[in-house]
Structure 1
Amino acid sequence: MYTNLVCKFCLYIWWSVSGDFVNSYMNMYLNSDEVQKLLGLDMELYYVTNGKINDFALNFVVPVPPKVDALHFTWESLSGRPLPYTINVDISNPLALGTPKLNISDTGMIPTITQIFSVSLPCSGVVVAEVNIVLTVNITSPNSNVTSLTFRRKKICRKIESLSNTHVLVDNISYNSNSVNIFYIAVGCAGFLIATLAFCVVVSYVKGKKDRRDPSDNQAHMTYVTNAARNPNSTSSYGSFRRMPSYSLIDERSKDLQERIAELTIQRCRVRLNSVILEGTFGRVYLGSYSEENGAEEEVLVKTVTDHASQIQISLLLQEGMFMYSLNHKNILTILGVSIEDQTAPFLLYPYHSYKNLKVFLQKCKLNSEGVAHTLTTQEVVDMALQIIQAMQYLHKKHLWHKDLAARNCVVDDKLKIKVTDNALSRDLFPSDYHCLGDNENRPIKWMAIESLLQKGFSPCSDVWSFGVLLWELTTLAQQPYVEIDPFEMAAYLKDGYRLAQPINCPDELFAVMAYCWAMNPEERPTFTQLQVCLQEFYAQLIRYV
């Protein structure tokens, strides 16, 4: 089930391969070092193998991380003699990226032995931008036919503030120097020092913000939650739901948890529990209804705990249930109301539109004695992933990290519309997904990024890692990730370079997106915006043939 990323393998998409364009006269591919830099995998990616063109691979736009300043391609002629070629490189933003430089001539001959050529990508440091790069290679076969290969990249360039008054090597920016070599050395050294200092400052700043946002800072609120469960007089009652507030989330986050609960408090007598949807040792999710003052009833999901749940479990239910309070997005399931009354378990109410837990839904899609409940196509999987990406983009714009993104914390309706939810009760409802490493804290070990495992640090980059595992869940119909690995061995397993294997029938480009999410260095992982671009392009390719 698992793959050793030290072993090389070639990436082919057989259904999208064209016929022989030069009668098996050449190979062109990215070697394992190049794929490791771009996608975090040790493998070879073939664009042309024995003359067969991999159209799908050519159409995939590969993001180039900020730290990667050159592209490398490997090619060879198989015809017994060199093949004529011409190369052209176009960029979309000359201000952000200087003129790319080839280490070979624009016109020449493809050698009969394996050769690696490179294209330098010198970011100017003047602006922040994503630069589209198009590399076109025209190859003439022995029978004089010309074949054009187009490679697309998206280079991420960052701004270096101290370069605003410095002469930079860009076509439309002049520079004065008596020695080009001295200039490059000086700018390189200065850039390295500045980048190092900037990186340290950013890490310190992000860590500070992260620490301030970490839920552990809210432990003081647990005392209130416990008291609130005992004393109903500390809250007020409303006859109907309080809908989404108009004030900003920043203002909300500065409020006391007590005020949040008070604003959402509803009367228990208006809530009716109908049937249990999910049940754990200490928690339950009901399908119920809520009666408005005008007599109208609204179907709701109700999260609650059993009578023998501890006060800590009650506190966690309320804290985690409040995580998405006041958020308003089509792909996020936000809380509608809270009911806390004396001597009874709290109720958390959510809107219901035939929602099913995504993990449970995926598991029911598998073959069983009654047949297949629903067969997911690759197109549907990608569409569901894009919906999750939109929800995560919204969360990150609000400076919120989910920290537990997984199929169990999403819901899906009959039309495959996805909503991301909080993780309230997830530890109890899906106990096999959480493990304790001797620190009295159940964590989703096998969904967590390497830095979260080792340092308990969370960021948008760690959410991206979890999204990669969630995408793997979608393609495997909610199989357990790393099922054979002991939770205590996960950190060492990941540090050694091992990752989840490519699922059966999973397209190579979809697996490449997953692998890119699991880069060891958080800075080399894509943002959700970049993931959206990649998957939208893949989705467009899928629907083109439907």
Structure 2
Amino acid sequence: VLFIGTFGRIFHGILIEEKDPSKEKQVFVKTVKDQASEVQVTMMLTESCKLRGLHHRNLLPITHVCIEEGEKPMVLLPYMNWGNLKLFLRQCKLVEANNPQAISQQDLVHMAIQVACGMSYLARREVIHKDLAARNCVIDDALQVKITDNALSRDLFPMDYHCLGDNENRPVRWMALESLVNNEFSSASDVWAFGVTLWELMTLGQTPYVDIDPFEMAAYLKDGYRIAQPINCPDELFAVMACCWALDPEERPKFQQLVQCLTEFHAALGAYV
């Protein structure tokens, strides 16, 4: 077992090909506990299928769904041997206290580029993620990042979701104003969430807007306030984040522009080293 929540569990498993039993693949197995409600099961399956059938090197869509009478459903995804990006960043923060070179700014920007590439592909396919965040990305030991669905995220990262009185847990601190106020989602609201994800990368997994009451978030954003520039974050990089948080969705950059901008910044960082 890799993660356990209140109703969900994620295992590390082995998938054996039926046609060729000698072929084994390592997989993540997402499933639910016996006491999970029907609503929780349905939600896991619906959210797991969000990226199904999409092929891009920076996406991790499900490969199989197993549903048997009387058994809990299982969702299989390709295995990444470091797992969750948010937990990885937090681990880096612990290590950084003793070893400041543990992860470089260049590495972090490269991770951001990969997320932007995956999101650019989704935007081209007119798929809206609605819950982009470090917790919904995975990373391997070559620092390759892939975006996943948000099945079980509410369960495994409950502190990142809040109910604003409508019985639905939302990732309030990652949401654009129009999503919070009018429940409007688009590729532009995904861009807003990307800005927050970039902030998570540069702070090694800190929680955004940690001191703001979730019920006050909409008013706080409307008044023009945003999360502060992270320590050691270059001005150019913070300017990219700030663009993503424009109140008018039309004024936010497109993902393809973000890929280009971050790639140029990454190259410039390389030139300084």
TM, length-normalised to structure 2: 0.96
Partner residue, 1:534: 261
Residue number among 421, 425, 432 corresponding to 2:148 in the alignment: 421
Alpha carbons 2:8, 2:155 under 8 Å: kept? yes
Is the 1:279–1:285 Cα contact (8 Å) retained in structure 2? yes
Q: Confirm whether residue 280 of structure 1 aligns to residue 5 of structure 2.
A: yes
Which of residues 173, 177, 184 is equivalent to 1:457?
184
For each residue in 1:390-420, what CA deviation from the matched residue of structure 2 results, as whole angstroms up to 9, or x when unmatched? 1011111111010000000000000110000
Overall identity of the aligned pairs, in %: 59
Give the conservation status (yes or no) of the 8 Å contact 1:411–1:421.
yes
Q: Of 273, 287, 291, which aligns to 2:16?
A: 291
| CA–CA separation in structure 1 for the residues paired with 2:144 and 2:227 | 26
Mapped to 2, the partners of 1:372 and 1:366 lie a distance apart of 9
Q: C-alpha separation between the residues in 2 aligned to 1:343 and 1:291?
A: 22
Structure 1 gap segments, 5+ residues each = 1-275
Query: Is 1:361 paired with 2:88?
Result: yes
What's the CA shift string for 1:157-184, capped at 9, x where partnerless?
Answer: xxxxxxxxxxxxxxxxxxxxxxxxxxxx
For 1:41-190, what aligned pairs fall within 5 Å after superposition? Answer: none
| Change over 3 Å in CA distance of 1:495–1:370 after alignment to 2 | closer
Q: Give 1:287's aligned amino acid.
A: H
Determine if the alignment matches structure 1 residue 346 to structure 2 residue 73: yes
Partner of 1:379: 106
Name 2:128's counterpart in structure 1: 401
1:533 shift after superposition:
1.8
User: What are structure 2's unaligned runs of at least 5 residues?
Assistant: none
More strand by percentage: 1
**2:200 aligned residue (469, 473, 493):** 473
| 2-structure distance, mates of 1:386, 1:368 | 24
Shift, 1:520, TM fit: 1.0
- 1:326 partner amino acid: G
Q: State whether residues 307 and 344 of structure 1, in contact with CA within 8 Å, keep that contact through their aligned partners in structure 2.
A: no
1:537 to partner: Cα distance: 1.4
Q: Which aligned segments of 4 or more residues in structure 1 are displaced greater than 4 angstroms?
A: 368-374
Partner amino acid, structure 2, of 1:315: T
Q: CA deviation at 1:367?
A: 2.5
Structure 1: which amino acid aligns with 2:83?
A: K
Which of 216, 220, 236 matches 1:489?
216
Higher helix share: 2
Q: TM-score, normalised by structure 1?
A: 0.49
Per-residue deviation, 1:353: 3.4
1:6-21 equivalences in 2 (<5 Å): none
**Partners of 1:365 and 1:374 within 8 A in 2:** no
- For the Cα contact (< 8 Å) 2:82–2:88, is it kept in 1? no
Q: Which amino acid aligns with 2:41?
A: I
Deviation at 1:545? Answer: 1.9
Letter in 1 for 2:53: S
How many angstroms apart in 1 are the aligned matches of 2:266 and 2:177? 29
C-alpha displacement of 1:484: 0.6
Matches within 5 A, 1:128-277: 276-277=1-2
Listed one character per residue, the Cα deviations across residues 72-123 of structure 1 (whole Å, up to 9, x for unaligned) are xxxxxxxxxxxxxxxxxxxxxxxxxxxxxxxxxxxxxxxxxxxxxxxxxxxx
CA distance in 1, matches of 2:100, 2:76: 28
Q: Distance in 2 between matches of 1:530 and 1:457?
A: 22
Q: d(CA) in 1 for partners of 2:40 and 2:209?
A: 28
Cα distance change of structure 1 residues 354 and 402 upon mapping to structure 2, 3 Å threshold: same
Distance (Å, rounded) in 2 between the aligned partners of 1:305 and 1:456: 28
Which residue of structure 1 aligns with residue 167 of structure 2?
A: 440
8 Å Cα contact 2:95-2:102 kept in structure 1: no
State the secondary structure of the residue aligned to 1:424: coil
Task: Give the count of matched residue pairs.
Answer: 271
Compared CA separation, residues 538 and 368, structure 1 to 2 (3 A):
closer
